[in-house]
Amino acid sequence: MKIYVDMDKCQHYGQCTFEAPTVFALNDDGKLEYTGEVDDALADQVEAAADVCPMQAIEIEA
């Protein structure tokens, strides 16, 4: 599955990093970094991350 985060929306709060820590992380500058393509086994985590994102910035493409 593919993941896209709209960086114009993302406010780098980091809630997604708690739901899917192997996919999303905040770097040393506090900016979000993420993996754009992940195994479908992580779908539940990624969907949970998208759900908690307060900016609805995470888009998922199956």
Binding site for ligand SF4 (CB under 6 A): 5, 10-16, 24, 32, 53, 55, 57-58
At its nearest, how many Å lie between ligand SF4 and the CB of residue 16? 3
Phi and psi at residue 42, to the nearest 5°: -90, 10
7/39 with CB nearer ligand SF4? 7
CB of 37 to ligand SF4, least distance (A): 16
CB of 40 to ligand SF4, least distance (A): 20
Gyration radius of the chain over CA positions:
10
